[in-house]
Amino acid sequence: MLKTSAFQHNSVGKTEMESLFHVFSSSSPSSDSSFRAFPYEHPTTVHLLTLLSLLYLLIAVATVADRFIYGGIIAQISLGMIYGSPLANILPVEWEATFSALGFIGLIGIVFEGGLGTDPAVLFSNLILSTVAASVGVILPIALSMGLFYGAFGYTPLAGFAAGVALSTTSLGTTLMTLTSLNKSQNDARASREILREKTMESTVTIAPPLIDFENFRSSRIVTVLIGTAMIDDVIGLVLASLIPALAIQQAATEGGSNSNMTWTIIRPLLSSFLLSVITPIVARFVLRPLYRRAVSSKHVSRRKVPFPTPDHMKLCIMILFVYAFIGIAYYTGSSLLFGAYLAGITVAYMGRTDSEDSSDAEPKSATFEEVFKKLVGPVQHSLLVPLFFASIGHAIPFTSLWRPAIMWKGVLYAILMTVGKVATGIPVTCYSILFSGGRKPKSPAPALEPEVQIEEGEPSSSTVEDRGRVSFSRSPTKVEQPPSHPEVLPRSPFRASLYPAFFMGTAMVARGEIGLLIAQIGRGSSTVHGLLNDDAYLLCIWAILLCTLVGPITAGWMLNRYGPKINQGIWS
């Protein structure tokens, strides 16, 4: 059970102020009741060192985990469990409540940034295929969860539904972080071999080309379909998540013997989310975008060298206002707050597209909303708010209860089923390949980034070291050789050719991440709101989310590192 904030136990008014003065100050500065001020005191050395160590370790463990196992999220959640109530109980309960609030702001930033990065053209270019794959990735986990929870574990069907919704989402950020980590590892390895070649002037250094060009791969069709599928998954998950509190209230009312309008309870969040998704594009297209274009086109040249406010600051204000507006609309209409944040990001990004379209070649192009967000908010977002969000998730995980034998084997079994449910999203990729590439000659793998460079001095020696980047020593005149062209890959059938991109797509969709953890917490409820998941069902969700988030990126990274050219070939390149 989550610990409630200490502020919830204090009454509003004079009693609350007196209790605060009693806690934070040994003597009141004034006996006058109208004297209202928070006494400033230096934090204790223990508290200061605790806070500094937590903030530093949240970044350090995530960096190390992403470097080796692409599990930065798991590392930050584990650190939150260690510092929080589940294990060492180092943090005061008031700190945990504060970190939860700051972490939720970070979560809103994650969802908003995802909306900013959504390109409608990319989304609609493969909309049918992405929608079919996303439907498989949502329906199958929910169906498997309801069958397993109700038929095998004895939970209610609503508990299975809540667990299935939590496991129907996809952590696209984790998958993209995997691609970034692989690209960075590849560049670091090549840089180290370049340094070795410069230092060994009497040696021959043959640097083989990388298996795949990550920069071009991220714009390939298979990645486009992957991004579209993950985005649709998250949107559906956020919409379904808005049903969970309504169903919990209805379930509590039914158990209490009171009757309520169950139809409206279920329809309201779905209807509000549908209306928001329909009305928002219309308003953005015919109202918001023309107004923004008019504001951008009417530029007043300032005599100051550095105008204030700068365009970046104005765009930051616009983003904050839109987040406020959409979250408020989503709250009062009964939709999900995160869905409102996602729509805010898409709307702002759509308005900002006029900058690049209308700017002339003579004028420097202004930064997009996404670039401004990464520049001004990104450092705080990714170094403070997001780590605190994952740490606050760790505060809410009963770690010792996870290791009960009955919970362990059920959690592992559930994780296996949820892995299968997401790997199945690659089936539409295989079907599409069979239907639309039959008889078509597949393309050869993507070319390498750089030609193989060979520098030789003197006669060849007997010392040779070979790996993906081969380093050999010899003594002969210096020369540069081009690598032989890649042989054209001719698979036996479109079915076999589609197995590599299909399995990569499925494994990349396995990671659940932050949205799944949040929906599981919503399904669990709180001390004041009854949830659909009891403690044991919640622990099963945590097991599945953690294992899927750990296994998915590792498998996808291995697939890309081992079979990169076969994934990025044919109609998927």
The CATH number that domain 6-10+49-297+308-449+486-572 falls under is 1.20.1530.20
Q: What is the pLDDT of residue 175?
A: 63
Q: pLDDT band for position 440 (50/70/90)? A: very low
For the chain, the average pLDDT equals 77
Q: What is the pLDDT of residue 176?
A: 63
Q: Which of 335-339, 479-483, 508-512 has the lowest mean pLDDT?
A: 479-483
Sheet containing 204-205, strands listed edge to edge, beginning at the edge strand earlier in sequence? 204-205, 471-472, 464-465
The secondary element (H helix, E strand) that includes residue 551 is helix 535-567
Q: pLDDT band for position 353 (50/70/90)? A: confident
pLDDT tens-digit series, residues 27-59:
444 455 567 888 888 889 999 999 999 999 999
Tokens of 8: 């919830």
Residues 6+ apart with CB under 8 A from 129: 225, 228, 428, 429, 432
Question: What φ, ψ does residue 459 adopt, rounded to 5°?
Answer: -85, 150
Tokens of 40: 């400033």
Residue showing tokens 């700068």:
310
pLDDT tens-digit series, residues 89-144:
999 999 999 999 999 898 888 888 878 877 777 677 788 999 999 999 999 999 99
> In this model, does residue 342 exceed pLDDT 70?
yes
pLDDT tens-digit series, residues 9-32:
443 344 433 443 343 444 444 455
Q: What is the pLDDT of residue 518?
A: 81
Q: pLDDT band for position 214 (50/70/90)? A: low
Q: pLDDT band for position 489 (50/70/90)? A: very low
Tokens of 443: 């393309």
Q: How many helices (H) and strands (E) does the chain have?
A: 24, 3
Angle between helix 514-524 and helix 243-255 axes, rounded to 10 deg = 20
Q: What is the pLDDT of residue 47?
A: 93
Residue showing tokens 């659940």:
512
DSSP string, 390-454: HHHHHHTS-HHHHT-HHHHHHHHHHHHHHHHHHHGGGHHHHHHHHHHSTTPPPPPPPPPSS--B-
pLDDT tens-digit series, residues 526-542:
666 678 898 899 999 99
Query: Does residue 547 or residue 72 have the better pLDDT?
Result: 547
Q: How far apart are CA 307 and CA 482, in angstroms?
A: 52
Residue showing tokens 């507006």:
325
> In this model, does residue 233 exceed pLDDT 70?
yes
Report yes or no: 432 and 129 within 8 Å, Cβ to Cβ. yes
Q: pLDDT band for position 218 (50/70/90)? A: low
> In this model, does residue 464 exceed pLDDT 60?
no
Peptide bond between residue 398 and the one before it cis (omega within 30 degrees of 0)? no
Q: What is the pLDDT of residue 243?
A: 84
Q: How far apart are CA 456 and CA 106, in angstroms?
A: 53
